[in-house]
A and B are shown apart, each in its own frame.
Chain A
Amino acid sequence: MIVALLALHCVVGISAVALHHRLSRWAFAVAAVPAFVTLVSLATRLRAVLDGEPIVEEFSWVPQLGLSFVLRVDAFAALMVLLVSGIGLLVCVYAVGYFSHPKPGTGRLAGLLTLFAGAMLGVVVSDHLLAMFVFWELTTVTSYLLIGNDDWSPEARDAALMAILITGAGGLAMLAGLVIVGQAAGTYQISELATAAPLSGSAVTVGVICILIGAFTKSAQVPFSGWLPGAMVAPTPISAYLHAATMVKAGVFLMARLAPALADIGPWRPLVLGVGAATMVVGGWRALRQHDLKLLLAHGTVSQLGFLTMLVGAGAYDVAQAGAVLLLAHGAFKAALFMVVGIVDHQTGTRDVRRLHGFGRGWTPVMVVGVVAAASMAGLPPLLGFIAKEKALDAATGDEQFMLVAIVAGSILTVAYSGRFVLGLLGRLGEPDADVVSRDAPVPGWGLVAPSVVLTVFTVVAGLAPVIVDRFIRASTTSLYADSHPANVKLWAGFNTALVLSGCIIAAGAVLVWRHATVSAAQDRFHTAIAWVPSNDRAFWGAMSVLARSAKHVTATVQNGSLPLYLMVILAVAALAPLGPAVSELDTWPAIVGDVPVHIPLAAVIAAGAIGAAVVRRRIAAALLLGAVGYAMAGFYVVQGAPDLALTQFAIETLATVLFVLVLRFLPRQFEAGRAAVTVPIRLAVSVAVGVSVFVLALVASAARRDVSQDQISGEMLARSVPDGKGANVVNVILVDFRGLDTMGEITVLVIAALGAVALARATRGSAPVENDHAGFARLPVVVASSRVLFPSIVVLSLYFLFAGHNQPGGGFVGGLTAGAAISLRYVAGGVTSVRESFRFKPWTILGGGMVLSIGTALVPLLSGRSLLEHSSIERDVVVLGTVKATTALPFDVGVYLVVIGLVLMAFEAFGDDVAPDSGSGSVGSAAP
């Protein structure tokens, strides 16, 4: 049921956003549907929930990780659902009237509001900390979109940005905290957290601080409260819903949920009480200075959130019960007050108390609502707000001295700003020289007034007869503190300290209201005196600009554009970072040469070639020296007992040399002495560092291999090659069978490289002819004749390598490269035309066909329910050849073969030239520079 409700919000929200142009303000009527459905379904289950039987729905997600999606509605969650959906329904009705002159983005607001409501419900009903966090972040995102919906207004964008940065940063801190606490407790289930063993330790302390930072940012506590007044640029229905009644309560909700389990951990109570008290007083103080009624309410909301934070975070059930009453009372009166301000704004075009001079006769209901709701905010009897404050004072009188002082101070300010609100609304603060706009303002329609009337009636009725909320509140308290026995919620709790305090608060507040001119003069003097303290806004935007500026500065310094420099930094780090640990592992030194003396000449050739390639100034010489290194490496592979490698290296070296010549002939003969990106000494130092690091790593790695008792993998591959892989050449069996998936990845890389090379090299060929001085080369009769003979025989050899490769040295790679060598012969004889003629298909067809064949062979076993790349074999007696064994590894290898041939063909397609049309004979011309 709960999941269905969440899904309903999601679907309706997305549809409303999608259709917002058509629906316009009636989108809010659509948005009311999910709220209404939620209320109805809550009502049907409420009795059981209040009896202490929560609705629980569990969906397993990743059971191995203990991740499950648990939804749980207990009485406290039901209280929040009532707030979210009840006020949501009224706000939707109100918004239909409020947006009587809809702007283009108005309908979108309704969709976003529904999505927000769904996310908020998710926060409230999730029983898993991480699921709760996901919904929590969704409320942040939807709130951002709602504040910034008027995206043409820079103020709206700034306010939205500020809100998402502050609450988003808090959310990240909270995620860290949730993970720490969840790990320490061994459960992420909120309902199990309360009954788990008490947590302790420094990690948990840090986790608790992180969670509280998240809750404080969301609930606009000092010093993170700056975003909430800024968020008032949103249309009033949105402010009434998100920034008064619901979203800002998410932090309060979380603290209420976690306080039973975490309140005893070191920093929790000092932080909650200190921050809550500061917020309550500072918010009230600021509210008293506002001229804009909406901002007055916004700062008042900050103040009340501080009050709530203290109550629900203290970790005692009687205080928390007062918090539950205040949650309900605050939701009712603050939403009503926002609606009243919205009506005033809508009808007169201003919210500034200096421009309001009282309203006409038809406005009485609005005025009554405003005054009664403000009275509830001030905590006047016999309203719900009074009951909440009485409960709080009563609970705090015991041993919560600090909280009591904070509540009294904050409440005096609350009475004062409530009074200021009423005076402003009634026009008593209007300045004589301002235009009179309010007296003959049009009377608002009933659609606009009715929702706030409903809320006010609730405030009055629940105040006079608290029995209607009594059971709900007590059940909420017991759902938080299982073994508590909360007292009844009563209007008249007897003649006690709380009542006396209440009287004093109201009296002191009344004095402040009476002497409001003196008070604001005193406030102005105070603020002039502390003008050097940056305001929230200035501090925030100042920090942002410092951040942006330093980011730019760092980027400009670190990322100066020189690619060789970047490379140098990366290589130096890669070389030096592992060096320390590696050297410490280096205990034994192996023999210098070992028992293979032939290594010495090979090493000499390799070393000479490498150093030569690094220092010569001619391009072709460098390429040829690289080739020499390659051939010597092939010789080394022979010595090492790796014939496949040797064959591959030989074929590759031949092909690579041809390719180098093809490209380098265009380029200048010598490397020009351009300006060096990295100076020679540094370059030398980094190169030597890399060399030393590799040297040490090589010795350490081979020493580490000796410590392993037996080489499991290779031994097993040797043993299983014939019986399982049906091939005697273990290297080939590894390539096509054991590690076939790697080979598939590899040929994909080859295909991509080939396509990239052709695309790059031929980018301009279609349009304009390549401007080069080497327009083709001449045909040499000897080469042409010999290639006629050699080409087919080399291709036959390549096919032999391919087919014999499973049992003899060879295989798809070797075969393909050998065929590639044959192709290069064709090229030398007749240019790229001759290469094209030697194959019937286009290079890309061969390339792609090979890849399709390989991947297809790999996929076929899946059809018969076996695993990817599982090869099968057949064995038949054939007349002439005797017993022939064939495995499905063969088509796979044929695919590899074709891909390699395709790659070579593509390379010639990319860099090759045609024979010059007019040069039937002559010098080799361009083939060598």
Chain B
Amino acid sequence: MTILLAFLAALLFACGTWLLMQRRLSRIIIGVGLLGHGANLLLVTAGGPGGLAPLIGADDNFGRYSDPLPQALALTAIVITFGVTAFLLALGFRSWQITRDDAVEDDVEDRFVALLNQEQSAAQEAAESSSDAPDESQSWEGS
């Protein structure tokens, strides 16, 4: 790992993060792609400096081959990122079909919960000013 590569991975992550926090799904997808590249870069460079392709037979000294394990991991990651991208694109496509846009809107349920809370606290305050809490009626204390 050289400083150049570490910086490159950091840059990919930073750009991916920047895109991820946007409202447009297509930008988020690009961001996921960049994050994937950054992660693969980290994986492969974590395996140490490059070397011979890990095809046994070229050299008897195993130390001269590049590390195959991170490569297998990165290969898996590349393909998975592709699958995820396809799925996210389908999401964007569907969003366009329904809303003619690919904006990631606020979560409706969460907004609803927040609104409900406001309404309820308003109603509760109104109720409390007129009468006491309903739980009073079933007090067993007899006091």
Measured CB to CB, the residues of A under 8 A from B are 155, 158, 226, 229-230, 232, 286, 289-291, 295, 527, 531, 535-538, 541-542, 545, 549, 552-553, 555-556, 559-564, 567-568, 571, 589-594, 596, 599-600, 603, 606-607, 610-611, 613-614, 619, 622-623, 626, 629-630, 633, 636-637, 639-645, 648-649, 652, 655-656, 659-660, 662-664, 666-668, 671-672, 674-678, 683-684, 686-688, 690-692, 694-695, 698-699, 701-702, 705, 711, 713-715, 717-719, 721-722, 728-731, 734-735, 739, 742-743, 746, 749-750, 753-754, 756-758, 760-761, 763-764, 770, 807-809, 813, 817, 900, 903, 906-907, 910-911
Contacts and interface: CB of A to CB of B under 8 A. Distances in A.
B94 A809 contact: no
A753 B87 contact: yes
B65 A641 contact: yes
Interface of B: 1-24, 26-27, 30-31, 33-34, 37-38, 40-42, 44-57, 62, 65-69, 71-72, 74-76, 78-87, 89-94, 96-97, 101-104, 106-111, 113-114, 116-118, 120-121, 124, 133, 135-136, 138-143
Contacts of B120: 552
A243 to B, nearest CB: 13
Given A636-B41, A761-B93, A622 B26 contact: yes
A831 to B, nearest CB: 17
7 contacts: A158-B138, A561-B107, A656-B82, A714-B47, A721-B68, A730-B55, A731-B72
B50 A641 contact: yes
Contacts of B135: 158, 537-538, 541
B101 to A, nearest CB: 8
B22 to A, nearest CB: 7
Nearest to A548: B120
A647 to B, nearest CB: 9
B57 A728 contact: yes
B21 A568 contact: yes
A626 B75 CA distance: 18
A519 to B, nearest CB: 15
A695 B6 contact: yes
Contact of B89 (A560, A607, A663): A663
B54 A731 contact: yes
B90 A527 contact: no
B123 to A, nearest CB: 12
A567 to B, nearest CB: 6
Contacts, number: 373
Given A561-B106, A663-B90, A671-B22, 16 more contacts: A230-B140, A232-B140, A286-B141, A290-B142, A531-B143, A537-B138, A552-B117, A560-B111, A568-B21, A613-B33, A683-B18, A692-B10, A694-B38, A718-B62, A731-B72, A754-B86
Task: Please provide the 7 A-B residue pairs with the shortest distance between their CB atoms, ordered closest to farther.
Answer: A691-B14, A702-B1, A757-B90, A641-B66, A561-B110, A561-B106, A753-B83
A758 B33 CA distance: 20
B2 A592 contact: yes
A591 B2 CA distance: 5
B26 A614 contact: no
Contacts of B93: 663, 666, 760-761, 910-911
Contacts of B91: 760
B87 A756 contact: yes
Given A555-B117, A735-B72, A626 B26 contact: no
Nearest to A676: B23
A714 B69 contact: yes
B10 A694 contact: yes
A793 B33 CA distance: 30
Contacts of B65: 641, 718, 730
B66 A640 contact: yes
Given A590-B1, A645-B44, A718-B68, A652 B83 contact: no
B83 to A, nearest CB: 4
Contacts of A611: 11, 15
Contact of B78 (A600, A649, A753, A907): A649
B68 to A, nearest CB: 4
B69 to A, nearest CB: 5
Given A589-B3, A730-B54, A541 B23 contact: no
A717 B69 contact: yes
Contacts of B37: 606, 610, 629-630, 633
A263 to B, nearest CB: 33
A364 to B, nearest CB: 31
B84 to A, nearest CB: 6
A705 B75 contact: no
B33 to A, nearest CB: 5
Nearest to A639: B50
B107 to A, nearest CB: 4
Contact of B90 (A535, A564, A711, A911): A911
Contacts of A656: 33, 82, 85
Contacts of A760: 87, 90-91, 93-94
B110 A560 contact: yes
A564 B10 contact: no
A633 B48 contact: no
Nearest to A699: B6
B54 A764 contact: no
Given A538-B139, A559-B113, A641 B54 contact: yes
Nearest to B111: A561
Contacts of A592: 2-4
A535 B74 CA distance: 64
Contacts of B104: 563-564
Contacts of B41: 633, 636
A553 B117 contact: yes
A596 B50 contact: yes
Contacts of B30: 613-614, 622-623, 626
A527 B143 contact: yes
Contacts of B23: 564, 674-677
A729 to B, nearest CB: 5
A698 B11 contact: no
Contacts of A230: 140
A154 B36 CA distance: 55
Contacts of B89: 659-660, 662-663, 757, 911
A717 B68 contact: yes
Given A630-B37, A717-B69, A731-B72, A613 B142 contact: no
Contact of A629 (B2, B34, B50, B79): B34
B18 A535 contact: no
A698 B6 contact: yes
Contacts of B86: 659, 753-754, 757, 903, 906-907, 910
A705 B46 contact: yes
B55 to A, nearest CB: 5
B103 A690 contact: no
B20 to A, nearest CB: 6
A611 B8 CA distance: 11
Contacts of B76: 735, 742-743, 746
A114 to B, nearest CB: 28
Contact of B83 (A286, A676, A722, A754): A754
A684 B18 CA distance: 7
A809 B22 CA distance: 39
A229 B141 CA distance: 9
A667 B96 contact: yes
Contact of B21 (A537, A590, A596, A677): A677
Nearest to B54: A730
A699 B55 CA distance: 28
Nearest to B66: A641
A718 B84 contact: no
B4 A610 contact: no
A538 B136 contact: yes
Given A229-B140, A555-B117, A561-B111, A659 B2 contact: no
